[in-house]
Amino acid sequence: MKLTVLGCAGTFPGPDSPCSSYLLEQDGFRLLVDAGNGSTGMLQRSIGLLDLDAVVISHLHGDHYLDLVTYTYARRYYPGGQPGCLPVYGPTGVQQHIAGAFGRPVDDLLAEVYEFNEMSPGRLDIGPFELELGRVNHPVETFGMRITAGGRTLAYSADTGVSDELVKLARDVDLFLCEASYLDGDHNPPDIHLTGREAGEHARRAEVHKLLLTHLVPWGDPDRTLAEATGVYDGDIAVARTCAGYDV
Ligand SMILES: [Zn+2]
């Protein structure tokens, strides 16, 4: 399984990165996990504009799904002809959220471009990927996920505060892609995001093989985030970089 980070900035785009978006590839199947604002640009640096097979949206905050709004035009009006409907899996209301951003009725347009599927906790098979979905600790319905393909396993935290469910999803995975939006010591509101230390603690509790920190807020300090996580987790660890590829 190959992971390419298309965007890893938390909450809003940074000068060097779009918001959250991760491309997973296995056996020629291309699954996009989240479509944060700006990520369609990076998608075109990695694969063709239309070369996606399915999309999973972890939750309906703008920095995780908004590029699906404008990507509608890319698929519908591509000069070479419109590709088939793209399966999109997301929380309850995913279609209505995307439609609402157009400011006019677009159900016919969206039906030509996307096939929407609302998710619930449990197993979901998409192409060669087996997903285990679980609700994590965030103010809107948010799915963390454990993704297995080709004998390798990745866990993705989505956005979450401290979460036992996330530890369960990440148990013993090869790569743990975990958000670390906050720094310790700030006045962090509870039940929204993790600090670098908390991400490290989740990795340690889940006994993951590698921790990749993501969703750092652009005004933060990646060195401090990494130091916080390293202080509590002594395994392989790095901060995600946009356009970097990782063999899971
Ligand atoms: Zn969020």
pLDDT digits (tens, 9 = 90+) for 73-94: 999 999 988 899 999 999 999 9
Ligand 1: centre distance to CA 190 (Å): 13
Residues in CB range of 207: below 8 A, 6 or more apart: 171, 172
- Mean of all residue pLDDT scores within the chain: 97
Two tokens at 79?
């000069």
Ligand 1: centre distance to CA 59 (Å): 7
Whether residue 115 has pLDDT greater than 80: yes
| Rounded Cα distance, 63 and 58, in Å | 11
Whether residue 186 has pLDDT greater than 90: no
Ligand 1: centre distance to CA 57 (Å): 11
| Rounded Cα distance, 135 and 122, in Å | 10
Ligand 1: centre distance to CA 83 (Å): 30
Ligand 1: centre distance to CA 20 (Å): 10
Residue 208 pLDDT class (50, 70, 90 cuts) = very high
pLDDT at site 185: 86
Residue 187 pLDDT class (50, 70, 90 cuts) = confident
The stretch 11-34 carries a mean pLDDT of: 97
Backbone angles phi, psi at 131, to 5 degrees: -105, 140
Backbone angles phi, psi at 115, to 5 degrees: -115, 110
Ligand 1: centre distance to CA 164 (Å): 18
Ligand 1: centre distance to CA 58 (Å): 9
pLDDT at site 52: 98
Query: What value, to the nearest 5°, has the Cα angle with vertex 186 and ends 184 and 188?
Result: 95
Backbone angles phi, psi at 106, to 5 degrees: -135, 20
Whether residue 101 has pLDDT greater than 80: yes
User: What distances in angstroms separate CA 56 from CA 33, 114, 163, 207, one per listed residue?
Assistant: 5, 12, 21, 25
